[in-house]
Amino acid sequence: MDQGYQLLCLAKARRLLFLVGATVAIVIVVQYLEFPSSRVLVSLFSAVNTRSFMSRNSSTGSEALGNMTLSNGLNTTNTGILHETTDSDEASDDKKETAEVNKSEEKEGSPNNSNASESKRGSSDSFGLVSNETISDDLANQDKNSTLNTINGSEEEKAMAPDASYINVDKDIAPISGRNKSSDADPGYPSSAPPMMNTFSNKTFSTDENSSPMIFESSNTTSMRKDTAGALKRDENSGLLPNNYSMSTSGSFSSKVTAAKRKTSKKPPSRVISIHQMNELLRQSHASSSSVRPLWPSGVDQEMLFAKSQIENAPLIKNETRLYAPIYRNVSMFRRSYELMEKMLKVYVYQDGEKPIFHQPILDGIYASEGWFMKHMEANENFVTKDPGKAHLFYLPFSSRLLELTLYVRHSHSRTNLIEYMRNYAGMIAAKYHFWNRTGGADHFVAACHDWAPAETRGPLLNCIRALCNADIEVGFSIGKDVSLPETYVRSAQNPLKNLEGNPPSQRPILAFFAGNMHGYVRPVLLDYWGNKDPDMKIFGPMPHVKGNTNYIQHMKSSKFCICPRGHEVNSPRIVEAIFLECVPVIISDNFVPPFFEVLDWESFAVIVLEKDIPNLKNILVSISEEKYIEMHKRVKKVQQHFLWHSKPEKYDLFHMILHSVWYNRIFRIRPA
């Protein structure tokens, strides 16, 4: 009897354990199907802890920016506020923002080059700063002409736009110390911060003659959250291509973009600005003269107004051997403007700021453009003046690449100290010199190529002319004010013109070519649609590295069209590489403003494809007739002279083109006092 009872209890215990196990298994399967990337067992018991963590994190997760007050809306009567567009990625969680800042990209100038690893690419942050109250009305009027507001058709859309937020930042902030160099920096970069950055004062900035800005972090912060993800409706019908090439983002293409997005924290833009809309924004910018009105008159203003009149009424060019008219918006205006720049322009270069962040150019790598420009600008005898009263423009010679290498704290997931450093540098310049205050910085300019430069040049620097490689409309690039700086991969500082040749059209059997790492959300989609799918479309991932990148270079030389898709950010050195190797560039990067957009007609020598049209890429390319392709190839060769770095600057080269675009944009935004 006892033995039978024990057997019965054992059988029931086993049945109970089986039922419990089956229940747990069903719960796990259901949760896995619903949340395949979550930690299932942990999620069963963490509801209370999660709520507690989110409550604490909501007030501490954002970057520390000082004592802030945030007001929403489009009240342009607010005094002293610098208005700026925001990055749509700022609507993401702290974890997402952290992943974005911490992400490393093996740079793509030569995507098969295993030694081309560079440091992080990240999305830009949005900041504002209290400015001089006497120029606030002009800044408020300038806001009305900002890029995204211009293209929105209704007041409701304007109210929802990302640039409808204003931020006050208190200048009195507490010090922070400590930083180290990125371990993936190129050889030759400083291994530690310079002595002037080892300790920090409690002052915000000093006006001493040899002073440098300090780095600060607020002790009292207010969390910032800006959700603009659904603010703008994507324009499905805009673009360079004919309507028959326009494709919906629904269906398989949309699902592939979604799959690609899971691998990166970057998202497709909330609104796509077509090349035609960019052209209209440029026209409106030149017509509006929306720059800040100077606080007091100066003779240089009259000189620039005279130059503007001369450019607008430029005589037609009849015989010009070095300028091929079809590649320009208006070759007559460009030549006249260039002539006046050579004859009139004077630039004052600030001596403030210590190396390496200031006055120390990097001449190789994919960020070399900012370094070569700094080198040539500081050494120039024709344009540079030591009398700021005669200066039409003021140059702030900083390196965004060295700012990142010197100050970014590895694994800190924060660029706050970089941003604050530049904010305090601008504050020191404004306090020490009255030239900044005359125009609120509108006649000052910077040249910066690192991906974080849009964030580093916000705040007071947002009103400057910013020459940026990361020329992304959605993160605040202003067409008609800012300049799109070409990202050029210089492999040899001694020979920046290396690999400067290409095959004639008859020796280009490949229709289209791309090879590179799968950075961002666009490239995986490109590879998924066209990788090993069509013999005419040579679309690869990373190619095996060989000495001199000969395999990659030979593919570009043998291709009619070179595909230039965006990576983590909109810019890519492939565009300039394609021009060097006389391959017609195919730009696939929504909201990217091509280099020297104010003077070059990119539609005449490049193909601009919307990201959503990747499935139809081959049809787009084969629709270009042989006759048209040969002419585009010729134009690529003609435009090549504008993208060359020389050991000593030459007429119409890259140094002069950058300076000209800064001069040109300033002229068309000049306002008499």
Q: Are 409 and 365 in the same domain?
A: yes
| Whole-number pLDDT of residue 22 | 83
14: confidence class by pLDDT, cuts 50, 70, 90: confident
Q: Note the Cα 103 to chain centre separation in Å.
A: 15
| Residue 36 included in any domain | no
Mean pLDDT (whole number) for 289-309: 87
| Whole-number pLDDT of residue 11 | 77
253: confidence class by pLDDT, cuts 50, 70, 90: low
Mean pLDDT (whole number) for 381-395: 97
Q: Which domain holds residue 605?
A: 505-643
| Residue 161 included in any domain | no
| Whole-number pLDDT of residue 547 | 78
| Whole-number pLDDT of residue 671 | 76
| Residue 217 included in any domain | no
Please state the φ and ψ torsions of residue 444, each to the nearest 5 degrees: -105, 155
Mean pLDDT (whole number) for 380-388: 96
Mean pLDDT (whole number) for 102-126: 38
Both tokens of 24, joined, read: 């747990």
Q: Across all residues in the chain, what is the average pLDDT?
A: 73
Q: Are 436 and 515 in the same domain?
A: no
Mean pLDDT (whole number) for 364-369: 96
C-alpha to C-alpha distances, 20 to 10, 14, 23, 43, nearest whole angstrom: 15, 10, 5, 18
Mean pLDDT (whole number) for 606-627: 98
**Pairwise pLDDT comparison (291 vs 467), residue with the higher score:** 467
What pLDDT, in 10s, does the model give residues 150-199?
444 333 333 333 332 222 222 222 222 233 333 333 323 233 333 333 22
| Residue 383 included in any domain | yes
**Any idea which of 50-64, 412-426, 438-452 has the lowest mean pLDDT?**
50-64
Q: Are 518 and 543 in the same domain?
A: yes
Sign (positive or negative) of CA dihedral 34, 36, 42, 47: negative
| Residue 226 included in any domain | no
Q: Are 541 and 598 in the same domain?
A: yes
Q: Are 465 and 533 in the same domain?
A: no
As for how many domains the chain has, the answer is 2
Mean pLDDT (whole number) for 466-490: 96
Q: Are 325 and 460 in the same domain?
A: yes
341: confidence class by pLDDT, cuts 50, 70, 90: very high
Q: What is the CATH number of the domain that holds 545?
A: 3.40.50.2000
> What is the C-alpha separation between 257 and 610, in angstroms, rounded?
13
| Whole-number pLDDT of residue 28 | 75
Q: Are 425 and 293 in the same domain?
A: yes
Contact call for residues 490 and 363 (beta carbons, < 8 A): yes
C-alpha to C-alpha distances, 268 to 577, 590, 620, nearest whole angstrom: 25, 8, 22
- Nearest-5° Cα angle at 617, 612 to 621: 140
| Residue 329 included in any domain | yes
| Whole-number pLDDT of residue 294 | 86
C-alpha to C-alpha distances, 35 to 49, 263, 267, 377, 587, nearest whole angstrom: 19, 16, 20, 55, 36
Q: Are 437 and 514 in the same domain?
A: no
Mean pLDDT (whole number) for 236-256: 41
Q: Are 420 and 331 in the same domain?
A: yes
Q: Are 464 and 515 in the same domain?
A: no
| Residue 239 included in any domain | no
Q: Are 551 and 632 in the same domain?
A: yes
Given a cut of 90, whether residue 643 has pLDDT beyond it is: yes
> What is the C-alpha separation between 566 and 480, in angstroms, rounded?
23
| Whole-number pLDDT of residue 252 | 63
| Residue 191 included in any domain | no
Given a cut of 80, whether residue 101 has pLDDT beyond it is: no
Given a cut of 50, whether residue 571 has pLDDT beyond it is: yes
Beta strands in 517-637 (DSSP E): 537-540, 559-565, 584-588, 607-608
> What is the C-alpha separation between 638 and 325, in angstroms, rounded?
10
pTM of the model: 0.69
Q: Are 484 and 510 in the same domain?
A: no
| Whole-number pLDDT of residue 320 | 82
Contact call for residues 512 and 529 (beta carbons, < 8 A): no
What pLDDT, in 10s, does the model give residues 191-242?
333 333 322 233 333 434 444 443 333 333 233 223 323 332 333 333 333 3
Both tokens of 488, joined, read: 């050029």
> What is the C-alpha separation between 112 and 104, in angstroms, rounded?
16
Contact call for residues 388 and 437 (beta carbons, < 8 A): no
Contact call for residues 184 and 118 (beta carbons, < 8 A): yes
Return the amino acid letter for 659: L
Strands 68-72 and 347-349: what pairing? unpaired
Mean pLDDT (whole number) for 94-106: 42
